[in-house]
Amino acid sequence: MTEFLSTRLGLAPGLAALLVALIAAVILITFMLLSAIFFVWLERKVSARIQDRLGPTRVGGKFGWLQTLADGLKLLVKEDIIPTNADHMLFRLGPYIALAGSFLAFVALPFGNGVVAQNMDVAVFYMLAVMSSEVFGVILGGYGSGSKWALFGGMREAAQVVSYEVPRAISVLVPIIVAGTMNLSTIALQQTGAFWNWYVFHDPFTFGAFWTFFTCGTASCKRAPFDLAEAESELVAGFHTEYSGFRWLIFFMAEYGSMFAISGIAVLLFLGGWHLGFLPWELSDKIGIVGNVINVLVFIVKGWLLVFVMMWVRWTLPRLRIDQVMMTCLRYLLPISCVLLLGVSIWQLLSWQITVLVYANYVLAAVCVALVAWFTVKLTKAGGVTPTHMMPGAWPGAPASGAPLVPRT
Amino acid sequence: MSEVSLDHYLVLGAVLFVCGALCMAMKRNAIGVLMGVELVLNGANINFVAFARYNPVFRLEGQVFALFVIVMAAAEAAIALAIVLNFYNNHMTVDVDTAEELKG
Amino acid sequence: MSQATILFLIIAAFTGLSAIAVLVSQNIVRSAVWLLFTLAGTSGVFFLLGADFVAATQLLIYVGGILVLVVFGVMLTAQGPFITMKVGAAEWVIASVVGLLLLGVLVMSMPGPEAFGSSEAAPANARVSSSTQLGETFLGLPGAMPEANVSGLPKTATAVPRTRVAYLLPFEIVSVHLLVVLIGAAYLARAKRRKGGLP
Of C36, C68, C130, the CB nearest to A121: C130
Distance (Å, rounded) from C-alpha A147 to C-alpha A169?
33
Q: pLDDT tens, A272-327?
A: 888 888 888 777 777 878 888 889 999 999 999 999 999 999 888 888 887 888 89
Query: What residues in C contact A89, CB-CB < 8 Å?
Result: 30, 33
Strand locations in A60-210, DSSP E? Answer: none
Closest approach of B104 to chain C, Cα-based (Å): 23
Exposed / middle / buried, residue A214 (Cβ in 10 Å: 0-12, 13-18, 19+)? buried
Tell me which residues of chain C, numbers 42 to 71, contact chain B at a CB-CB cutoff of 8 Å: 42, 45-46, 49-51, 53-54, 57-58, 61-62, 65-66, 69-70
- Poorest-pLDDT segment among A126-130, A298-302, C34-38, C87-91: C87-91
Q: What is the mean pLDDT of residues A347-362?
A: 83
- The amino acid that residue A156 corresponds to is R
DSSP helix/strand/coil, A270? coil
Chain-chain contact of C174 with B45 (C-beta, under 8 angstroms): no
Q: Is C63 on the interface with A (CB under 8 A)?
A: yes
CB–CB of A220/A165 below 8 Å? yes
- Poorest-pLDDT segment among A138-142, A278-282, B38-42: A278-282
Q: At what angle do helices B30-54 and C3-24 cross, to 10 degrees?
A: 160
Strand partners, B1: none
Q: pLDDT tens, A99-119?
A: 999 999 999 999 988 888 888
- Using the 8-state DSSP alphabet, how is residue C85 labeled? -
Interface test mutation site (partner C, options A18, A20, A107, A126, max chain C beta carbons within 10 A): A126
DSSP helix/strand/coil, C69? helix
Distance (Å, rounded) from C-alpha C190 to C-alpha C182?
12
Chain-chain contact of C56 with A133 (C-beta, under 8 angstroms): no
Identify the pLDDT of residue A386: 62
Identify the pLDDT of residue A394: 67
Which H, E and C letters describe A289-306, residue by residue?
HHHHHHHHHHHHHHHHHH
Closest approach of B48 to chain C, Cα-based (Å): 10
Say yes or no to pLDDT of A397 above 80: no
Spans of all domains in chain A: 1-77, 81-375
Q: pLDDT tens, C74-100?
A: 888 876 555 566 777 888 888 899 999
Residue of C nearest to B17 (CA): C103
Looking at the domain C1-79, which fold is it? Four Helix Bundle (Hemerythrin (Met), subunit A) (1.20.120)
Query: What residues in B contact C85, CB-CB < 8 Å?
Result: 27-29, 95
DSSP helix/strand/coil, A228? helix
Which candidate, C36, C59, C180, C192, places its Cα nearest to that of A132? Answer: C59
CB–CB of A133/C66 below 8 Å? no
Residue A120, phi then psi, degrees to nearest 5? -95, 150
Distance (Å, rounded) from C-alpha C199 to C-alpha C194?
8
Identify the pLDDT of residue A110: 92
DSSP helix/strand/coil, C79? coil
For residue B100, the Cα-to-chain-centroid distance in whole angstroms is 25
Q: How many CB atoms lie within 10 A of CB B23?
A: 25
| C near A: at least 3 beta-carbon pairs less than 8 Å apart | yes
Chain-chain contact of C68 with A129 (C-beta, under 8 angstroms): no
Quick check: bond before A225 cis, omega within 30? yes
Q: How many CB atoms lie within 10 A of CB A289?
A: 8
| Total-model pTM | 0.87
Identify the pLDDT of residue A264: 94
| B near C: at least 3 beta-carbon pairs less than 8 Å apart | yes
Spans of all domains in chain C: 1-79, 130-145+163-191
Which candidate, A67, A35, A34, places its Cα nearest to that of A48? Answer: A67
Count of all residues that appear for chain A in the document? 409
Identify the pLDDT of residue C78: 72
CB–CB of B51/B62 below 8 Å? yes
Q: Is C141 on the interface with A (CB under 8 A)?
A: no
For residue C183, the Cα-to-chain-centroid distance in whole angstroms is 24
pLDDT band at A214 (very low <50, low <70, confident <90, very high): very high
Query: What residues in A contact C57, CB-CB < 8 Å?
Result: 125, 129
- The larger pLDDT score, comparing residue A230 to residue A350, is at A350
pLDDT band at A271 (very low <50, low <70, confident <90, very high): very high
- The amino acid that residue A168 corresponds to is R
- Using the 8-state DSSP alphabet, how is residue A117 labeled? S
| Residue B4: partners with Cβ closer than 8 Å, 6 or more residues away | C4, C5, C8
Identify the pLDDT of residue A97: 92
Which H helix or E strand runs over A200? none
Chain-chain contact of C29 with A90 (C-beta, under 8 angstroms): yes
Chain-chain contact of C60 with A158 (C-beta, under 8 angstroms): no
- The larger pLDDT score, comparing residue C35 to residue A223, is at C35
- The amino acid that residue C115 corresponds to is A
Which candidate, B101, B103, B83, B85, places its Cα nearest to that of B93? Answer: B85
pLDDT band at A88 (very low <50, low <70, confident <90, very high): confident
Which candidate, A159, A252, A257, A264, places its Cα nearest to that of A214? Answer: A264
Distance (Å, rounded) from C-alpha C4 to C-alpha B57?
24
DSSP helix/strand/coil, B95? strand
CA angle A294, A258, A1 (to 5 degrees): 40
Interface test mutation site (partner C, options A130, A168, A183, A187, max chain C beta carbons within 10 A): A130
Of C79, C128, C198, the CB nearest to B60: C128
Say yes or no to pLDDT of C144 above 70: no
